[in-house]
């Protein structure tokens, strides 16, 4: 009888050992983020400014907030990113759209992200320069709404505008301007730490 009990105990111990051996090993995955936007995003060399970070550039030259919102489910959602950085609205401003409408489109994207469990970061729009500087009041209005929304909903904010604006005239600083709208490497260098800091809370 004792021999039988011992045999059973050994058999059960062996089975437990086998079960432990087949348990899958869960590996920690690097935190991923999609940078989603227009040419301000597509021209951003993420590998250069965030070396070693698994960040994906999904910037689309010429895209508006409207087109980006309509493409969100096919461009961002299937990738299941850790978060998405949404920088959109510049082309809408250039096309004469108003701040209230652009804001409503952006909040649609925020709602899409939230409903799918994708954490997101709100990005303020950079100012424009020279012949396009007359658009800046719309950008200031839109950014004010974005800041208020981020604060009210406790969403991380990457305030690119404040880092890029020339306080003397409210335009994009000359050293940051590749043209009237786009950024130089110096401009991207100025906002890269802001983007990284904004991503930290959603990586927790």
The pLDDT assigned to 67 comes to 97
Q: Which residue has the tokens 């082309």?
A: 91
- Cβ(127)–Cβ(161) below 8 Å: yes
Task: Give the span between the Cα atoms of 156 and 85, in whole angstroms.
Answer: 10
With left for phi above 0 and alpha for psi between -120 and 50, is residue 130 left, alpha or beta? left
Query: Strand pairing of 157-158 and 119-123?
Result: parallel
Residues paired with residue 57 on neighbouring β-strands, in sequence order: 35
What pLDDT is recorded for position 15? 42
Going by C-beta distance under 8 Å and a sequence separation of 6 or more, which residues neighbour residue 97? 64, 138
Say which CATH class 32-203 falls into.
alpha beta
- Rounded distance, CA 55 to CA 30, Å? 10
Neighbours of 50 (CB within 10 A): 17
Complete edge-to-edge strand list for the sheet that includes strand 55-59:
55-59, 33-37, 83-87, 119-123, 157-158
Closest to 106 (Cα-Cα) out of 96, 95, 116, 120: 120
pLDDT at 179: 98
Please report the pLDDT score of residue 202 as a whole number.
82
Whole-number pLDDT of residue 136: 98
Cβ atoms within 10 Å of 151's Cβ, excluding its own? 10
C-alpha closest to that of 162 among 185, 184, 194: 194
Rg (CA), the chain: 24
Closest CA relative to residue 169, chosen from 140, 198, 199, 202: 140
pLDDT at 204: 65
Instruction: Give the residues of the chain that fall short of pLDDT 50.
Output: 1-2, 4-29
> How much is the pTM?
0.84
Cα separation of 51 and 39, whole Å?
A: 21
Residue ranges per structural domain of the chain: 32-203
- Per-residue pLDDT at 9: 46
């Amino acid at each position: 009888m004792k021999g039988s009990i011992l045999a059973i105990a050994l058999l059960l111990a062996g089975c437990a050992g086998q079960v432990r051996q087949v348990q899958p090993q869960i590996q920690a995955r690097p935190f991923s983020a999609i940078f989603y936007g227009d040419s301000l995003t597509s021209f951003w060399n993420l590998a250069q400014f965030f070396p070693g970070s698994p960040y994906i550039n999904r910037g689309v030259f010429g895209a508006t907030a409207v087109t980006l919102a309509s493409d969100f489910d096919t461009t961002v959602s299937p990738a299941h990113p850790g978060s998405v950085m949404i920088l959109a609205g510049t082309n809408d401003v250039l096309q004469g759209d108003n701040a209230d409408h652009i804001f409503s489109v952006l909040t649609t994207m925020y709602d899409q992200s939230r409903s799918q469990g994708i954490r997101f970061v709100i990005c303020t729009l950079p100012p424009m320069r020279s012949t396009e500087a007359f658009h800046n009041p719309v950008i200031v209005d839109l950014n004010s709404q974005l800041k208020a929304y981020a604060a009210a909903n406790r969403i991380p904010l990457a305030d690119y505008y404040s880092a890029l604006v020339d306080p003397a005239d409210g335009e994009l600083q000359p050293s940051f301007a590749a043209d009237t709208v786009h950024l130089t490497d110096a401009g991207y260098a100025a906002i890269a730490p802001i983007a990284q800091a904004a991503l930290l809370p959603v990586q927790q």
